[in-house]
Chains A and B, each alone.
Chain A
Amino acid sequence: MNYRPFDPSFLLQSIPALLPYLQITLFVGISSIVFGSIFGILLAKAKLSSIGPLRWLAQGYTYVMRCTPSIVLLFIVFYGLPKLVDGLFNYQIDDWDRSVFAIITFVLLFGAYVSEVFRSAYLAVPRGQYEAAVSIGLTPLQAVIQVVIPQAMIIALPNFGNSVINLLKEGALAYTIGLIDLIGKGNLIISQNFGAYAIEIYLACMFIYWVMALLIEKVFFIIEKRLDKGQTLKTVQTVKQDKKRARLFLIKGVKFHGPGS
């Protein structure tokens, strides 16, 4: 075997070739985050509900999802779902776009992760806030929507941001079912060059992911700062203390931040 030195210029050249495929990665990621959050809210609601079986079901589901490697779930959805739909409704979905299977998988996973984030954030808001709101004449629904949830959102934000970054990283697995996303395209370029340039291409993909992760972190940090401004009635000191307390609570309350966190 003969060797070729590492070629940084190829790394730089490949980034423009890879970037158009970032939108597929982002499409899968953002759809999963949006639908997964809705699913997560429903799951969190089920976990907080007073109906026993509903609570157990949601908790059991979250537990199972935490123990499942994403790639195994992705394979189960990709191979199993068409069979299941065919068996139940006699309808073929084999030819659906692969991104659909990826999105379904990540919605199932993301819902489980964020349901814990939402649940613990909701519980971290002192009960007195709700009681105070109801006592001044708000309906329970109004109290929850206008008083409890805005406060819970701030508490949930750092962990939600973590989950988003983790989801984007998990999304990298989608190429294993043949989706041509960022890494899928990277692999195509590598095979076009007969296996050469693998290191450069993978490094380029890693840099794109890294920049994305840093940007998301920054964005969530800015949002957190913004939302904090709402707490005008509190002195800076108590806001700080509250946040500290909330964070401590979250560390105790949320056992998992999803894979790779």
Chain B
Amino acid sequence: MDLDLDFMYETFFKILGGISTTLELTILSLLLAAPIAFYMAVLRLNDAKISSGAVRVYVSFVRGTPIILQILLLYSLLPSVLNTIVQTLGINFNVFDAIDPFFYAVVVFSLNTIALLSEVFRSALISISKGQLEAGLSIGLTRFQVYIHVIIPQAMVVALPNICNITVNLIKGTSLAFLMTVKDVLAIGKIAASFGYNYIEAYIDVFFVYIILCTIIQVLYTAAESKISTFRAMHV
């Protein structure tokens, strides 16, 4: 088997250009998902019957279906739904031309991440004893303040390794954005390959780029973990 090494070398640097898209997609989805996921986690912990049931069904559905189907569904659903909304409002705006598919990708991956993150937050919040909340309230903090200053820092210590997992999986998952014509790492590799039918070389390049990306992310999270470990509860 002979690989076209010159092609691989050239394409590697072309593919590196796609990292920005991949990272933007990942970070944007995480940032959008985090507050909603946190709210969902609190809803589930508060045992409000209807809302916690709804959250449970949502989480189960997202976790029980392949992300590729979620992409295919939303990519065919969102544009027409948006178009209907725009038309009923009577705005002159062409949804199909004006909206970058990147936007749809962000929506899909955020919806997916919300479900996964809410479970992580929930298990992290469970690990914090109720006494922490009571102690905070008893010294005169508001509920919101207790969450911000006492509970979330401690919960973060527990949640961080799992958030790292989710981030790595999300980066891997964004490789499917090429189905929505987003030009991320994999899509650029695919396009470069199709000129000369050098698929295998391009995919090996992509493979290396993802390994490098994931390694960097994991190093960053490990650094963050050691930084945040000051909040680690005494008894752990």
Contacts and interface: CB of A to CB of B under 8 A. Distances in A.
Residue with the greatest number of chain B CB neighbours at <10 A, chosen from A68, A75, A259: A75
B176 A79 contact: no
Contacts of B203: 72, 75-76, 79-80
Nearest to A195: B76
B229 to A, nearest CB: 14
5 contacts: A66-B168, A66-B214, A165-B64, A168-B66, A210-B64
A69 B66 contact: no
A87 B3 CA distance: 11
B93 interface: no
B73 A71 contact: no
A255 B161 contact: yes
Contacts of B204: 76, 80
A105 B215 CA distance: 22
A85 B192 CA distance: 24
A73 B199 CA distance: 12
Contact of B64 (A84, A176, A199, A209): A209
Lowest 5 A-B CB distances belong to which pairs? A87-B1, A213-B64, A172-B66, A67-B214, A69-B175
Contact of B211 (A64, A84, A86): A64
B207 interface: yes
B72 interface: yes
B5 interface: no
Interface of B: 1-2, 60-61, 63-70, 72-73, 76-77, 80, 83-84, 112, 116, 161, 164-165, 168-169, 172-173, 175-176, 186, 199-200, 203-204, 206-207, 210-211, 213-215
B211 A69 contact: no
Query: Interface on chain A toward B: helix, strand, loop, or mixed SS?
Result: helix
A171 B66 CA distance: 8
Nearest to A174: B68
A261 B165 contact: yes
Given A72-B186, A75-B199, A165-B64, A256 B168 contact: yes
A206 interface: yes
Contacts of A213: 63-65
Report the interface size class on chain A: 35 or more
A115 interface: no
A15 to B, nearest CB: 14
Given A64-B211, A71-B176, A87-B1, A198 B66 contact: no
Contact of A209 (B66, B168, B206): B66
Contact of A70 (B1, B60, B73, B172): B172
B57 to A, nearest CB: 10
A67 B168 contact: yes
A255 B2 CA distance: 37
Given A206-B65, A214-B64, A69 B199 contact: no
Contacts of A98: none
A172 B64 CA distance: 12
A173 interface: yes
Contacts of B69: 172, 183, 202, 205-206, 209
Contacts of B210: 67-69, 72
A190 B205 CA distance: 33
Contacts of B199: 75, 79
A3 B63 CA distance: 31
Interface string A158-200: 0000000100111111001000000100000000000000110
A72 B201 CA distance: 12
A173 to B, nearest CB: 6
